[in-house]
A and B are shown apart, each in its own frame.
Chain A
Amino acid sequence: MHANRVTFGVVVFPGSNCDHDTYYVCKKILGQDAVFLWHKDEDLRGVDAVILPGGFSYGDYLRCGAIARFSPIMKQVGRFALEGGTVLGICNGFQILLEAGLLPGVLLRNTSLRFVCRRARLRVENAGTRFTSLFTPGESVSFPVAHGDGNYFTDPETLERLNARGQIVFRYANDQGEVTPEANPNGSLENVAGVINEEGNVLGMMPHPERASDPVLGMTDGQRLFRSMIEWCIINVRGERQEVAQCQT
């Protein structure tokens, strides 16, 4: 443990397939500490932030994320989230957060019925969160998407509430950064690509920031999402711990 580094916990479910990419980005690209958390683990080993990575947990049986939410580790993730801990769900991780009730709504099958795998442009709708503080409001960024069930849906009242409270953090946009129906890869309501909870500590998103972080892959916008989280954790989690340590000595 290091005062200026944070520890990411990357949860591994049977069928996760972006876990190693995420771990690699946290550790090698961002120079932070990272640990894998097995789905059967019953404690979070003191991590500063939890990431639910992409993949096909439990083969997407029943509904995407429906089985994973009952994994032992999810009890701890739920508790961590309720206590204000930082939780990021990417792609299948987003689906799991929705099934677990940590975020509102569902992800339906893409309206095209096709698996989409391509680079998407996103407009940053809320740059005031602990996940997006290093972006500028309305900025257009480039992240890859790769999913068959990314069609975000919720009832009209919830959608209105999400809009009113700035909980829609990312929307699919075109190259000019305009949110248009043509730019929507999956049919999601109002081009929603990422949603945050009311308290602002749990973010779920379909696009993959971990695939937009290593310069070798040609995209680096994703780094700023992780760096925002790191900055927040160093100030708020680590700062607090140092104070506690000083009081104790």
Chain B
Amino acid sequence: MYHSRVRVTLRPSILDPQGKAVEHAIENLDVGPVSHVRIGKYVEFLVDEQEEDAARRATEAVCRKLLANPVMEDFSYELTRV
């Protein structure tokens, strides 16, 4: 069994107004120079496979077909054997 932890992030070319709004809020915290705020998604799930390769293939299929829209998003993931 493998634990997949997926991050879906907006591609660099895509404007992120939500990130901008959060950035403006951070400015009000007065904690110093914080910039380039981008908002993404975190998704985790279990893959019931014995081999890491199979778990990797399953995770990538889930990401490509559903979790990330390649027009605007990239994804990365980590696998841990559990």
A residues at B contact (CB < 8 Å): 62-63, 66, 70, 99, 105-106, 108-113, 153-155, 187
Report whether B21 and A113 are in contact in the complex, using a CB–CB cutoff of 8 Å: yes
- Output the nearest chain A residue to B73 by Cβ-Cβ distance: A63
Report whether B66 and A109 are in contact in the complex, using a CB–CB cutoff of 8 Å: no
How far apart are the CA atoms of A105 and B71 in the complex, in Å? 7
1/0 contact string of B52-74 vs chain A (CB within 8 Å): 00000000000000110101100
Report whether A113 and B17 are in contact in the complex, using a CB–CB cutoff of 8 Å: yes
Report whether A66 and B72 are in contact in the complex, using a CB–CB cutoff of 8 Å: no
How far apart are the CA atoms of A29 and B71 in the complex, in Å? 38
Contacts A108-B72, A110-B17, A113-B17 known; list 20 others, CB within 8 Å.
Answer: A62-B67, A63-B69, A66-B66, A66-B69, A70-B66, A99-B69, A105-B71, A106-B69, A106-B72, A108-B15, A109-B17, A111-B17, A112-B17, A113-B18, A113-B21, A153-B14, A153-B71, A153-B72, A154-B71, A155-B71
- Output the nearest chain B residue to A70 by Cβ-Cβ distance: B66
Of listed B14, B17, B18, B41, residue having the most chain A CB within 10 A: B17
Chain B: interface secondary structure? mixed
How far apart are the CA atoms of A113 and B23 in the complex, in Å? 14
- Output the nearest chain B residue to A112 by Cβ-Cβ distance: B17
Of listed B21, B71, B72, residue having the most chain A CB within 10 A: B71
Chain A: interface secondary structure? loop
Report whether B17 and A62 are in contact in the complex, using a CB–CB cutoff of 8 Å: no
| List of A residues within 8 angstroms of B67 by Cβ | 62
Report whether B15 and A111 are in contact in the complex, using a CB–CB cutoff of 8 Å: yes
Q: List 28 A-B contacts (CB under 8 A).
A: A62-B66, A62-B67, A63-B69, A66-B66, A66-B69, A99-B69, A105-B71, A106-B69, A106-B71, A106-B72, A108-B14, A108-B15, A108-B72, A109-B17, A109-B18, A110-B17, A111-B15, A111-B17, A112-B17, A113-B17, A113-B18, A113-B21, A153-B14, A153-B71, A153-B72, A154-B71, A155-B71, A187-B15
How far apart are the CA atoms of A24 and B14 in the complex, in Å? 38
How far apart are the CA atoms of A66 and B68 in the complex, in Å? 9
| List of A residues within 8 angstroms of B18 by Cβ | 109, 113
- Which residues of B from 15 to 31 have beta carbons under 8 Å from A? 15, 17-18, 21
The distance from the CB of B46 to the nearest CB of chain A, in whole angstroms, is 18
| List of B residues within 8 angstroms of A106 by Cβ | 69, 71-72
The distance from the CB of B43 to the nearest CB of chain A, in whole angstroms, is 9
A-B pairs, top 9 by smallest CB distance, nearest first, are A106-B71, A106-B72, A113-B17, A111-B17, A106-B69, A113-B21, A109-B17, A63-B69, A109-B18
How far apart are the CA atoms of A66 and B54 in the complex, in Å? 25
How far apart are the CA atoms of A187 and B41 in the complex, in Å? 23
- Output the nearest chain B residue to A154 by Cβ-Cβ distance: B71
